[in-house]
Chains A and B, each alone.
Chain A
Amino acid sequence: MSTVGVFPDLSPEEAAARIPHGATVAFSGFTNSGAAKLMPRAIAARARELHEKGEPYRIRVLTGASSSESIDEPLAEAEAISWRAPYQSAPRLRKQINGEQVDYVDMHLSQLSQTLLAGFHGRLNFAVVEATEITPDGRVYLTTSIGASPAYLKYADYVLIEINNFHSKRVREMTDILILPPPPHRVPVPLHDPLTKVGMPYAVVDPRRIMGIIVNDEPDRIPEFTPGDVRSRKIAEHVLNFLLGEMWAKRIPKEFLPLQAGVGNVANAVMGVLGESPEIPPFMMYTEVFQDSLVELMERGKLTAASTTSLTLTPEVLQRVYANMDFFAPRIVLRPQEISNHAGIVLRLGVIAMNTALEVDIYGNVNSSHVFGTDIMNGVGGSGEFTRNAYLSIYMCPSIAKGGKISSIVPMCPHIDNNEHSVQIVVTEQGLADLRGLGPMQRARTIIDNCAHPLYRDYLDRYIEKARVGHIRHDLEACYELHLNLMEQGAMLPDLDLSQISDI
């Protein structure tokens, strides 16, 4: 159905001119997939122009999750962001956040829609949403990510639609959208399998609130993979062995359980190794990001189904999916992040969650967002909802970084995204610590012996010996010694001989 003549066609510049300084603007996009593309650049250009004239121009920015190249980078470069939620992963924006030039609210992703609709973040002035089509009655067919766009469309005062002709209109066959009503009168979401569909293939907007549409055919900017390194491969093998052990012990059923995997090298290596293992049966995923490596697993029949909120695929792989929609459409469901990351559903399905950490402490607390407890990397993202509610929550990281100058196993984490009450398994290339049923001292023993790099084990042992005895031993004077050393001397233990460490 054509929208010609129904909604005004705007140029990005015309549209950007209507967004005032101080506005709260929500963009579509969960990763760079499905992100608005022309408007952020036009707003950035407008900000620059106004700044040159000496006028202030900054906006408050919401997205589904990270949308670096498409949204955050151009806007941050123009110094056009004053406040940002719920997640980011853009180098320039990160610098501005850590320089305290931008307010950043780092949120659990599934809670975004509810807190927004409840009015907890104030009014939402504009929504800028990428779509393949909008009908005159306000049905919006989204592109490669759903994220929080349905909530933004429902709630924003004014709406701009970026119609993107690059994408297959058949993406809607994968899309399943519902918006939960406000509490207390809610019914259960009847989802009992990663592929269950419970909603509509489109989001809905009040057509009177549409300012106009902008037409575009730019693909999503999804970076190429970096190939897995030796450490990631070893971590993946430990995870594989552990999962096989759990199957033999019948703690994981023969048909397996749905998997969630984070983003990055380690997660890719794990998916690769699980995919190659003949002993792991074909499985399903219940996750937030669907990446290139999963397409191949699906083609090989190893991955039978996937639920996600974004198709984060490089343009070539996305074309492969678009060319073979008869195969992929019945195997992939794209959901709002409120559902893809929903605590209750993660719990119900018995998801096995595998996420990466910046660092882990000897008791199993995880820092996944803040270097030195101070500098934001990306954010907590979905790790909190998956780790907290999964059937098995697994944390992965290399035991050391920067050629051994940094140990990822530390006495105490200076920021805690997921705590010892939720984290069950910690894995490094050294080995795997199964923390289930262990008290704190037993946990510390297991993590140091199995996961810490041998170079750091003595230090960690001595930390425990000297610490104040209690349920959880700690020495509040020395607990951040490693972090302070790194900050001041460039290495956590400056006297270590690191010549034997190859930084692979």
Chain B
Amino acid sequence: MMTPNLFPRLTPEEAVTHVFNGATVAFSGFGNVGAPKVIPRALAARARKEHVKGEAFKIRVLTGAASGVDVDEALAQARAITWRAPYQSAATLRKQINRQEVEYLDLHLSHVPQTVSTGFLGKVDFAIIEATEITPDGRVFLTTSVGASPTYLQCANRVLIEVNHHHSSRLREMIDIITLSSPPHRNPFPMLDPMTKFGWSYAVVDPKKVIGIVETDEPDYMDPISPPDATSDKIAAHVIRFLFDEMHAKRVPEEFLPVQMGIGAVADGVLAALGKNPYIPPFKVYNLVIHDPMIDLMEQGKVVGASATSLSLSSDVLKRVYGHMDFFVPRIVLRPQEISNHPAIIRRLGVIAMNSAIEVDIYGNVNSSHIYGTDIVNGVGGSGEFTRNSYLPIIMCPSILKGGKISCVVPMCPHIDSNEHSVQVIVTDQGLADLRGLGPMQRAQAIIKNCAHPAYRDYLYRYLEGSRVGHIRHNLRESFKLHRNLMEYGAMLP
């Protein structure tokens, strides 16, 4: 269906004249894809112009999650962001957050739609959403990410649509959208399998709110995926052995369980290794993002279905998917992040969650967001909801970094995203610690012995011995000694 003459066609420059200083603007975008492209750039240009004139121009920015170069980097470089939620992973913006120039609210991703629609974050003035099409009656067909866009379209006062002609209009066949009603009158959703669809292929907007549309055909930009290294191969080998043992002990059923996999080199390595292993049966994925290695595994028949909120693919791989939609459409579902990360569904499906960490402590608490407890890297993202509610939460990280200057196993984490009450398994290149059923001291022994690098084991044992006896031994004077050494001398044990 075409949209002749219904919504005004605007240039990006015309579109951004509507946006005012101090506005809260919600952009589409999750996993660095599906974000608008030309409008944020025009907004950045406008901010620069206003700043040159000595005028204030900064906005409050919401997205689904990471929106990389298209939104965060462009706007941060123009110093146009004053407040940001719920997640970011852009170099310039990160610097501004850590210099306290930008206020950043690091949220559990499944909570974003509810938190916005209830008004907990104030009014949303504008939604700027990338779509393949908008119909005159306000059906919006999204592109490569669903994220929180359905909620933003519903809640925003005014809406700009960036129609992107680069994408296959068949994307809608993968999309399944519902927005939840507000409590207390909510029904369970009938989702029994990662592939269940129970919603619509489009989001809905009141056409009266649409200011206009801007057209483009620019593809998503994705950083190339780094190939697995020796560390991730070792981690992968430990994970596979563990999962295989769990199957053998019938704690993981023969048909396997849906898999969630974080992002980064380690996660990619583990996923690839799972795919190659002949003893792991073909499995389904219940995840936030679908990235390149999953498409390979799908073509090989090892991944039989995948649910996510974004199709975060490099342009070559996306082309491959668009070229074989008859094959991929029945195998991929894209959902709102409220559903892709929903605690109840993660729990119902019995997801095996595998996420990476910056560091873990000897008791199994995990820091996945803040270096020294202070400097934000990206954010908690979806790791909280998957780790907290999955059947088997597994946390993965290398035992050391920077040639041994940093140990990723520490006495105490200075920021805790997922805690010892949730984390069940920790894996490093050194080995795997199965924490299920263990009290704190047994956990510490298992983590130091199996996961810490040998160069740090003595230190960690001595920390335990020198600590105050209790349910969880700690020495509050020494608990961050390694971190302070690193800060002051450039190495945890100089």
A residues touching B (Cβ–Cβ < 8 Å)? 83, 85, 97-100, 103-108, 114-115, 118-122, 182-193, 249-251, 253, 255, 257-258, 284, 342-345, 347-350, 365, 370, 372-376, 380, 384, 388-389, 391, 412, 414-417, 419-422, 424, 436-442, 467-474, 476-477, 479-480, 483-484, 487
A193's closest neighbor in chain B, by CB?
A: B184
Residue from the list B190, B424, B440, B470 in contact with A372, Cβ < 8 A: B470
Quick check: is B13 within 8 A (CB to CB) of the other chain? no
Quick check: is B436 within 8 A (CB to CB) of the other chain? yes
Q: When A103-B442, A184-B350 are in contact, do A253 and B184 touch as well, CB less than 8 Å?
A: yes
B470–A414 contact, CB under 8 A?
A: no
4 nearest A-B pairs in the assembled complex, by CB-CB distance: A183-B350, A350-B183, A344-B344, A470-B374
B104's closest neighbor in chain A, by CB?
A: A439
Give the distance to chain B from A434, nearest Cβ to Cβ, in Å.
9
Contacts of A440 in B (CB 8 A): 104
Give the distance to chain B from A21, nearest Cβ to Cβ, in Å.
19
Quick check: is B357 within 8 A (CB to CB) of the other chain? no
Expressed in whole angstroms, the Cα–Cα distance for A257 and B351 within the complex equals 30
Give the distance to chain B from A90, nearest Cβ to Cβ, in Å.
14
Residue from the list B98, B119, B184, B342 in contact with A470, Cβ < 8 A: B98
Expressed in whole angstroms, the Cα–Cα distance for A196 and B377 within the complex equals 44
Quick check: is B10 within 8 A (CB to CB) of the other chain? no
Tally of chain B residues near chain A (CB < 8 A)? 91
A249–B188 contact, CB under 8 A?
A: no
Contacts of A185 in B (CB 8 A): 192
Quick check: is B215 within 8 A (CB to CB) of the other chain? no
A414-B479, A487-B476 are known contacts; what are 13 more A-B pairs with Cβ within 8 Å? A83-B439, A103-B438, A184-B349, A189-B188, A249-B119, A344-B344, A349-B183, A373-B474, A437-B120, A437-B122, A472-B415, A476-B483, A480-B479
A348–B344 contact, CB under 8 A?
A: yes
- Residue in A255, A284, A469 whose Cβ sees the most chain B Cβ within 10 Å: A469
Residue from the list B351, B373, B376, B469 in contact with A476, Cβ < 8 A: B373
Q: Mark B371-402, 1 if CB is under 8 A from A, else 0.
A: 01111100010001000110100000000000
A417–B421 contact, CB under 8 A?
A: yes
B residues touching A (Cβ–Cβ < 8 Å)? 83, 85, 97-100, 103-108, 114-115, 118-122, 182-193, 249-251, 253, 255, 257-258, 342-345, 347-351, 365, 370, 372-376, 380, 384, 388-389, 391, 412, 414-417, 419-422, 424, 436-442, 467-474, 476-477, 479-480, 483-484, 487
A106's closest neighbor in chain B, by CB?
A: B421
Q: When A103-B441, A422-B108, A439-B83 are in contact, do A120 and B436 touch as well, CB less than 8 Å?
A: yes
A94's closest neighbor in chain B, by CB?
A: B471
Expressed in whole angstroms, the Cα–Cα distance for A373 and B471 within the complex equals 9
Expressed in whole angstroms, the Cα–Cα distance for A389 and B388 within the complex equals 11
B contact face: mostly helix, strand, loop, or mixed: loop
Expressed in whole angstroms, the Cα–Cα distance for A190 and B189 within the complex equals 9
Give the distance to chain B from A71, nearest Cβ to Cβ, in Å.
18
Expressed in whole angstroms, the Cα–Cα distance for A419 and B103 within the complex equals 18
Residue from the list B350, B419, B474, B479 in contact with A186, Cβ < 8 A: B350
Contacts of B345 in A (CB 8 A): 344
Expressed in whole angstroms, the Cα–Cα distance for A107 and B342 within the complex equals 21
Residue from the list A103, A119, A188 in contact with B250, Cβ < 8 A: A119
A344–B118 contact, CB under 8 A?
A: no
B121's closest neighbor in chain A, by CB?
A: A437
Contacts of A349 in B (CB 8 A): 183-184, 186
Contacts of A416 in B (CB 8 A): 365, 416, 419
Contacts of A258 in B (CB 8 A): 184
B251–A419 contact, CB under 8 A?
A: no
Give the distance to chain A from B406, nearest Cβ to Cβ, in Å.
15
Give the distance to chain A from B4, nearest Cβ to Cβ, in Å.
39
A348–B372 contact, CB under 8 A?
A: no
Expressed in whole angstroms, the Cα–Cα distance for A103 and B107 within the complex equals 34
B440's closest neighbor in chain A, by CB?
A: A104
